[in-house]
Amino acid sequence: MSAWKDVPTADELPGYRVFVGDVEKPSLDDRQYSLLELHNGLRAVLVHDPTADKAAACLAVTTGYMLDPDDAPGLAHFCEHMVSKGSGPYPAENDFLSFISTNGGSRNAATGPTYTEYWFSISPTALAGGLPRLAAFFHAPLFTESLTAREINAVDSEFKRNLQNDSRRGLQITKSLSAPGHPWAKFGTGNYASLSGVGRHSKVDASEEEVLQETRRRLVDWWREQYCASRMTLAVVGREALGELTSMVVPHFSKIINRGLDPRPAFKEDVWTPEQSGAILFIETVKDYHTFSLSFPLPDLREQYGKKPASFLAHFLGHEGPGSVCAYLKKKGWLLSLSAGPSGSSRAPQFFQLQGRLTVDGYMHYQAVVEAIFNYISLLRSSPLPLYHFNEISALAATRFRFKQKSQPHSYASVLAHALAEPYPPEWLLSGAYLYRDWDEALVRRVLDGFVPERARVILEAKMHREDVVGENVQWETEEWYGTRYAVRKMDGGLLRKLREGNANDELFLPAPNPFIPEDLSVDKREVPEPGKYPLLVKCTTLTQLWHKKDDQFWVPKAHVRIDLKSPIAYVTPRHAMLTRVFVDLVDDALAEVTYDADLAGLSYSLTNQIEGLTVSVGGYNDKLHVLLRAVLEKMRGLQVEPDRLRVVKEKVQREYENFYMGQPSSLSECYATWLFMPTLWTPAGKLPELSLITADDIERHRDDILSRVFIEALINGNASREARTAMYLDALNIADIAENALKPRPLLQSEITHQRSLVLRSGSDVVSRKTHANPKEVNSSLSYYLQFGVASDVKLRCTLALIAHMTREPCYSILRTEEQLGYVVASAQWSVSGMLGLGIRVQSVHDPAFLESRVDAFLETLGNRLTRLSAQEFAAQKDGLVVKKLERVKNLGEETARYWGRIRSGDYDFLRRETDVSVIRELTLGDVMQVYDTLVRPSSGHLTRKKLSVHLLSQQLEAAALTSPPAVSAAKPPNANADVAHAATADSVSANGAVQLGAKRILLEEDEDGAGGGGTAESVFKAGLACAPAVTPVRSPALGECGAGFAGASAGAAGGASTDAAGSAPGEKTGCGTSRL
């Protein structure tokens, strides 16, 4: 039995209980833990991490939208918005956000079916100020009456952001088709109608003010009924000793009231009636794809955390290796992907779900797909389950837990806060979700017995359903909140009989033992005074450039390998770009059965197409990593294209490219803005015409062409030494040998290596690119507003931009989102495109982007005025907050690899950039910042010097009368009249194709028929008139090691803005939309 000790009240510290047992930890976890239970029932876990460079806290409440009043859908979500907008001790509505941002942190909140969470991260020295602010939300929230309408609008904007999101739309339908009165059916997000409806129903002809007053009254009442200390769990991660953390937590969080509510409310009654089970649900989607899901309700498994029967079954039903249902359906040409496993939080209804993406042929044969799955279920029922399956799964889980590395503090705090609400014994708080402790075959078979067609629900999603698939005389209905069309019919007798039959498919069998399970988990641990800050260049030839760093701080038996195969023909024309993409997908497809076992065994793999060529990534336990790497590279070199698989892959790529333009408006406008700075860019629409022309022979020729001559740049980071001991080990120099021997390429000429560069706007530029969203039902428009600063190699400018971006973040959110209510998506960040830096602001809204741009301009004026008034102390605090972000250490081997790879792919190899930036930031003055701000940011003072580009992505639902041209910032004449005339002439010359000069320096790029979402005639002519920035210059540093003399920066500038690894960027830096994968 778990041992707790009572600690009585002492001085101003209220009494509490503390767990005095040992907490089971990963072997590498050097942190100390303390589990507390306050007198009010709140449970907390405190984590002392003496090396933490970020502190964090998360408070979770075991209440969510399933506890919404029946007449007020979304009230729990509305409460999440309102509760953090000021408290008794800290009444300013933006106090929390301002405090967190100034101190280098971030914060967020989320509402789920049975939980709500609130978290923040912050500089370790500011944790003591963050915790009382967090606690005050729950013992003294203001629910400020004047904010009611504003936050209802914020909830409504969030709802509208997801209005065309197929996963949200489908989920709401499946929930709504629940047993009458079941809380699972509730509309959790809420919107203006659902929340204001509470007030409207209270009084006939109520004024809007009365409606809002009543809504707020109901909110406060609900908060008192549902928010309770005994329902709360808290996790805090800090540098302070456990005693100090205790004194920081107990006084503030003990103030929260315990209302005597059920501390862990659960909803385990049957979610479907017999009439709703054994049914097929057809859903119309926004995007064009075909998916299926097969779901079974699960029994209450909360107490079975040590046995995990549903996860055990998922190992078989979600397997992708030989004999699996996935492999069988792919062979038939019906399936693109499959996943299986339990879904839902432990206290909400839980389901075992199999979900898959289908081909058109698979959609037409969906009943045969479902039949194959039931065949496999029958196979599981009739087969013995040898103990080696459980032992293998259990051993892999134990290994994952044993070598679990640290993560970002706020993520870890969230995980711990939720774990405290589970029924784990306190000593298993960390391990309960990971470890399999007991094999219970009878329990597994009882769960499996529930997987019968009479208890199942099949969902089939498609943009357009065929009548011969749906059946005749099916009644189509429209879901209340999202307006999604759907139809339901029961499984007919013939289908039910087939699904009840035993398995007669001899292509299905249980998986064999996994050959990738690691055997050698030893770590080559060599103590060092302090961890190294960069990898070393250990090989530099005309063919290969290899970087290596031996792990010197994480001590896990893992390594990460990244290999760039640079080829000038990968992206030279739209056809080549399409060939490269299809080749990559065919390799993925051919490797699926092999790489799935590797994935189960803790290895990872990816192959991606980039503008510069191909990128191969492998990672995980180093024992078998060389086997996986060699298998991937040999498959690439020897790929034999099967026409049937080519047909499947082409169908997949076509749908992906077509669906791209149906995406979230803010994501699309960011992509379009990035594209405008890329000299060569083939859009998805521009490449699509090539797809139908591609044959198997074309792919195999392209394979040979692209791999026969390359430049290899590679990084290995982790448990691998520099010198190769034997070919059986993944040591650094073996990486190059494996790649060179598998691919057998010849080197490129230096001049053939691709160098991505950014286009440069002229001083005084004011460019607007206006496009229309492809989805006629998308209500949101988007603005991406970008101010180009200069090259990243200008250290002082780079640091000044970083500080401006840091100081812009909180007021941008508070003013444009919270105060002006422009939309749910409002963000500002530093932007980087191929070595050129700038400041970006994006807003997604139902308003016209021209109006949004005018508000951004006004905000930048207001912000400039605010910055000029900063006191010396306030300015120093802002710099300190940015320094905290810059000096944040990597938390695990994956983060370290991503950071190094980001600098390698950027072409600057500036591994010490953060340290350099910190020294410069500390020396910046407010005058330095304001000089740059007034020149490159502020509209009024920078109209001759700013370099501004904005993308206006318009909803088709905006009224034509509202589509006004953006107002000119200034009519002042630039000093270089001749340059301006030349620019205007360029615009005038293409005005028939969509480019129009709007004043001294404003250019409007209208979308034309050739544009297809980017790259039309007007944009092409505009881009042709711009200069290119110089290629990125490599930084010469000790990282070059012995190879420094032969290093020529062969990959300098190789990272395109759209393919830069964002994890290697500065905190908050926007690095493009990732469109090179397309």
**What is the SS3 string spanning 1005-1059?**
EECCCCCCCCCCHHHHHHHHCCEECCCCCCCCCHHHHHHHHHCCCCCCCCCCCCC
- Is 12 exposed, middle or buried, given 0-12, 13-18 or 19+ CB atoms closer than 10 A? exposed
- Is-contact 368 334, C-beta < 8 A? yes
Contacts (Cβ under 8 Å, ≥6 apart) of 528: 552
Measured CA to CA, the distance from residue 745 to residue 711 in angstroms comes to 9
Neighbours of 232 (CB within 10 A): 28
For residue 210, report the phi and psi dihedrals to the nearest 5 degrees: -70, -35
Tell me which amino acid residue 501 is: E
Rounded to whole angstroms, the Cα distance separating 379 from 322 reads 15
Strands 55-61 and 106-111: unpaired
User: Quick one: tokens of 469?
Assistant: 């698939």
Question: Cα–chain-centroid distance for residue 269?
Answer: 33
Cα 620 to chain center, whole Å?
A: 21
- Give the tokens for residue 268: 């385990």
CA distance 77 to 115: 10
Question: ∠662-667-671 over CA atoms, to 5°?
Answer: 100
CB-based contact 785:842 (threshold 8 Å): yes
| Residues whose CB falls within 8 Å of the CB of residue 450, separated by 6 or more in sequence, listed in order | 296, 297, 298, 299
Cβ atoms 350, 343 nearer than 8 A: yes
Cα–Cα distance for residue pair 810/136, rounded to 1 Å: 21
Both structure tokens of 1017? 């005639």
Q: Residue 181 contacts by C-beta under 8 Å, 6 or more apart in sequence?
A: none
Dihedral Cα 387, 390, 392, 397, nearest 10 deg: -160
Beta pairing, strands 765-772 & 825-833: unpaired
Q: How far is CA 848 from CA 236, 772, 781, 954, in A?
A: 43, 11, 7, 7
Q: How are beta strands 709-718 and 746-747 bridged, if at all? A: parallel
What is the rounded end-to-end Cα distance, in angstroms, of the chain?
A: 56
The DSSP symbol for 65 reads G
Q: How many CA atoms lie within 13 A of 727 on its CB side?
A: 5
Instruction: Compute the half-sphere exposure of residue 421: CA atoms within 13 Å on the CB side of its CA.
Output: 31
Active-site residues, by number, are 80
Q: Name the nearest CA neighbour of 854 among 807, 799, 911, 785.
A: 785
Residue type at 924? L
Instruction: Answer positive or negative: Cα dihedral of 978, 984, 990, 992.
Output: negative
Do 806 and 1068 contact (CB within 8 A), yes or no?
yes
CA 296 from centre of chain: 28
At a CB cut-off of 8 Å and minimum separation 6, what does 931 contact? Answer: none
With beta carbons less than 8 A apart as the criterion, state whether 591 and 605 touch: yes
Contacts of 523 (CB under 8 A, 6+ apart): 551, 555, 556, 557, 719
898 backbone dihedrals φ, ψ, rounded to 5°: -60, -40
**Gap between the Cα atoms of 306 and 626, Å rounded:** 34
